[in-house]
Structure 1
């Protein structure tokens, strides 16, 4: 809880600082009118325009009693238009302010605000929530610093704060007249009630709400992006796993298909030795003996004994299963043999059916 409060307090201070800077630039650019109130008696308040807006005539001083609760009573339409969006300076007379001289060690100068804030109940008759206070610039004297504290009860100026809010004042500054001997007026309160840049609302609050909205939207988008990204990553991983499983399942089938295709192609393009031998046994005449046979791819070589070797060439060529028959070695006749020794080479055909 304390962390949340610290963050909120820091955000509030930051937005108020930014709003103050923006309002300062706006004051210079827009040339807002400055209305001064002399607060001597609660029933006799004099209000004058110190810096009239451009192209507007100077308004006569107005007297009003904000304690009556009706801020607009007795004010002309010109005054009401002037007050809306103006800067209101309230000067409190010395008799309405508690003035107290203070003295601190010089080393305490960086911590004056905190020291006075914690001791305001001892220095004034009011507690921190009941008082508006400020102090003059420290004056160094040897190893000590002197300053003047000015304080007034919040209840004294509460009717003026309500009046400023009703008429649409943009900025409100309260100063206490403590006399020239104490360094001149001391500012005891300053606030931006609303801004014309923010449509008549408190610019600091608008900036704070805007920053919180942006932070909340960013957080929601970040969470949504994280959730959606995680979901999509999971879907992608599942899809990749399924693809991997399918590839692993199809790889043996693909291999088998490829092997079957190679076998089928080899079967279609390469004649079987048994079929070649069967065909030769049918076409070779009686009295012919095959001693050796070599079959490599589509090349057939046979050798053996026969009565008429050239006739074998003719028989092999006439068979549709063979082509390009020729002698690859001389035909010889050896004494004691019953025939000629032949060496024939031919090309085999892959298809062993009937010739079309």
Structure 2
């Protein structure tokens, strides 16, 4: 459990730092207009804005409302800072080790019920920038007030839809201390962004685990398929080797038989070149299966039939088209077909 808590604390710190950096960068790129309400001694608020034309200089706060009809237009979309009088706050100095400067907010939250009459959920509080007290310690000023006091001002301004509302006060030493800040839903909240980053990290971790399991399963499945293919290949090779010793139905025997039963085109061409006389010219030759068709020009077409049949490679020679002779031809144009007798053995 301690290791899980440590991991959770590390993740919270990392996502909080990343979220704060992102929010700070966004605020630098798109900085909203700042409207400041400073409480005076009479309870009225002095209005400070970047564009001070046609705005009231002082606004009263009565019955939980700011008495100014133009305040909605001034506040809408702006960052509102309410600076309350120091008399409304309880101030306490706090001395801490120098190493605690990076964890100041958490330390103040943990000790607020010891330093003030309120708990962390009942108060709004903040601390000033720490200053060195000695070589090994720092001091900071804590300001705290009841939460209901701050919520009254926040509720009075929330209906005007500002981008953010912050409450601060002036410390006795002159430093301004922010004790509360609330952002609108449209603004980027560091805490909400930190939770979103944690959810994204959790989803990425789950996806990585699922991907790893799926990859392992696929690797095992592909390994099994590869082993099965190797086994089948080994069996087929063994069958081929066992069938190569002269069996009539073995693959090698069938391949050997097909070799001698299929006419070889080279042998057919060689036989025709020996059979046909020198005055015969072949212009067409078709070889399909065991059938041969030739066409060309010769001086004596009928004499070609017995010459072809006398060969041991051809039988049933016959004309499959009429023999013709054109005035421009040097001889008779013939078309003969014959059956081929495969004789591929040496």
Please point out which of 249, 254, 257 is paired with 2:240.
Answer: 254
Alpha carbons of structure 1 residues 191 and 239: separation in structure 2 relative to 1, 3 Å: same
Say yes or no: does 1:186 pair with 2:144. no
In the other structure, the counterpart of 2:38 is: 38
Q: Structure 1 residues 249, 28: CA separation in 2 closer, same or farther (over 3 Å shift)?
A: closer
Distance change in 2, residues 1:8/1:61 (3 Å): farther
The correspondence for 1:110, drawn from 76, 89, 99, is 99
Q: 1:98 maps to which residue?
A: 90
Unaligned runs of 5+ in 2: 258-346
Question: Residue in 2 aligned with 1:88?
Answer: 80
Question: For structure 1, which runs of at least 5 residues remain unmatched after alignment?
Answer: 269-356
Shift of 1:214: 3.3
1: CA distance between counterparts of 2:115 and 2:92?
8
1:58 Cα deviation from its structure 2 partner: 5.0
1: CA distance, partners of 2:47 / 2:232: 89
Bigger Rg, structure 1 or 2? 1
What is the number of equivalent residue pairs in this alignment?
Answer: 248
Mapped contact 1:47–1:61 kept (Cα < 8 A): yes
Contact 2:37 2:81 survives alignment (8 Å)? yes
Which stretches of structure 1, 4 residues or longer, exceed 6 Å deviation after superposition?
Answer: 1-6, 141-145, 261-265
Label 1:12 to 1:248 Cα distance change in 2 as closer, same or farther (>3 A).
Answer: closer
**1:93 shift after superposition:** 0.8
Counterpart position of 1:150: 143
Change (3 A) 1:139 1:216: closer
Q: CA RMSD in A?
A: 4.1
Q: CA offsets, 1:242-298, max 9 Å, x none?
A: 223223333432122222279989xx9xxxxxxxxxxxxxxxxxxxxxxxxxxxxxx
Paired residue for 1:140, among 133, 136, 142? 133
Once the two structures are superposed, the pairs formed by residues 223-234 of structure 1 within 5 Å of their partners are: 223-234=209-220
2:49 aligned partner:
50
Shift of the 223–264 alpha-carbon distance from structure 1 to 2, 3 Å rule, reads: closer
> Does the CA-based 8 Å contact 2:97-2:137 persist in structure 1?
no
Match of residue 201, structure 2, among 215, 220, 225: 215
